Amino acid sequence: MPKRVIVIGSGIIGASAAWHLAKGGADVTVLEAGEPGGLATRNSWAWINASWGNPEPYFRLRQRAIAEWHRLEGEIPALAVNWCGGLIWDLPPAELDAYAAQREAWGHPLSFVTRAEILAREPNLRDVPDHAFHVAEEGMLEPLATSQALLAAASALGAEVLSGSPVKWLERGDRVTGVMTDDGVIHADETLVAAGVHTDSLLDSVGITLKLTSPAGLLAHSKPAPKLLNGLVMTPGLHIRQTAEGRIVAGTDFAGADPDNDAEALAASLQHKVEAMVTGAEGLGLDFLTVGHRPTPADGFPAIGRPRGCEGLYTIVTHSGVTLAAALGRFAAEELLTGRRDALLDPFHPDRPALS
């Protein structure tokens, strides 16, 4: 008998887990409160990288995650990661050099680039510094399209994806046995909670505390333009990338600007900076802004595993979920279906003291 698994949440994390579980032979049902594809996911800047997030074990997890996206692209041809590389100079020069030296010692493939080389890569940029670092391994994707492609691929393997299906609480006896929905209880051998910023309240329904924060991040989306940028560009106070449909998406950094009280004014000022920075973007204009909330365990690192050793229950909640999804979906499916836990996950158990 295949293992019956409920996945709560259809963002990029739940979608990846659903696909890996279905591929592993599980009988999968995805329950999504809203529209398929996620909340944080659809509002993400969607940079795939190992450039952000010390310490070293987290760097190693992110490096593996990049490799897992390449593997997943081979398995699901509809996925389209743009391995465009990233230019980084968003630290003062001395800090940037120290950062690069540490990363090189870890084997991170950064290369030093001169002003001329920056302009060769991004001829439309103004105000470029004397040097920066280029990280060839980095990429970007269209996050909503990606989680929807993962869900479609999971459905093709037999997974059921039910949108407009909020889970009210988890059902628990001496183990978690399923979930309560508007249509009654659905039973499962395993319940995987990948509900983003709502993960904590679902775990709380069975008496499990997992401390989360959900910082807001604003991104400004320009009107579509012909190709002006070739890759990701991380400058002080302005991170920019151009989407597949030609919009330049800007935040004060990849995590999005703090929208504070006046989101419209902040978005307008970001668009103004974009137009000053990119030749050809003058007069392009802001099309819309997005504000997303990042599911972030209290210490800033991923939480993945069985909380409190509770049988029948598993969770994945993380910032940088776009970077990590291909790896975390795979690791969760392996642990749930075979009991094997990847050693890279050792520091990221949900039971660590910082989260309880």
Ligand X SMILES: Cc1cc2nc3c(=O)[nH]c(=O)nc-3n(C[C@H](O)[C@H](O)[C@H](O)COP(=O)(O)OP(=O)(O)OC[C@H]3O[C@@H](n4cnc5c(N)ncnc54)[C@H](O)[C@@H]3O)c2cc1C
Residues that bind ligand X (CB under 6 A): 8-14, 31-34, 38-41, 43-47, 166-167, 194-196, 198, 202, 217, 219, 254-256, 292, 294-295, 318-323
Give the C-alpha distances (Å, rounded to integers) separating 184 from 5, 31, 172, 191, 206: 17, 13, 14, 16, 17
Choice between 178 and 217, CB closer to ligand X? 217
Choice between 112 and 274, CB closer to ligand X? 274
> How far apart are alpha carbons 272 and 254 in whole angstroms?
17
CB of 40 to ligand X, least distance (A): 4
User: Which residue of this chain has its Cβ atom nearest to ligand X in the complex?
Assistant: 11
Q: Strands 303-305 and 313-317: what pairing?
A: antiparallel
Choice between 125 and 195, CB closer to ligand X? 195
Choice between 75 and 204, CB closer to ligand X? 204
> How far apart are alpha carbons 161 and 10 in whole angstroms?
8
Burial of 328 (0-12, 13-18, 19+ CB in 10 A): buried
> How far apart are alpha carbons 184 and 240 in whole angstroms?
45
Q: Strands 160-162 and 27-31: what pairing?
A: parallel
CB of 265 to ligand X, least distance (A): 17
CB of 116 to ligand X, least distance (A): 28
CB of 62 to ligand X, least distance (A): 9
Whether the CA torsion 9, 10, 12, 13 is positive or negative: it is positive
> How far apart are alpha carbons 59 and 172 in whole angstroms?
36
Beta-bridged to residue 192, according to DSSP, are 7, 314
CB of 114 to ligand X, least distance (A): 26
SS (H, E, C) 162-177: ECCCCEEEEEECCCEE
CB of 64 to ligand X, least distance (A): 14
Choice between 89 and 254, CB closer to ligand X? 254
Choice between 24 and 38, CB closer to ligand X? 38
Q: Which residues of 68-82 are buried (b: 16+ CB within 10 A; e: fewer)?
A: bbeebbeebeebebb
CB of 113 to ligand X, least distance (A): 21
* Phi, psi for residue 351 in degrees, rounded to 5: -85, 5
Choice between 91 and 119, CB closer to ligand X? 91
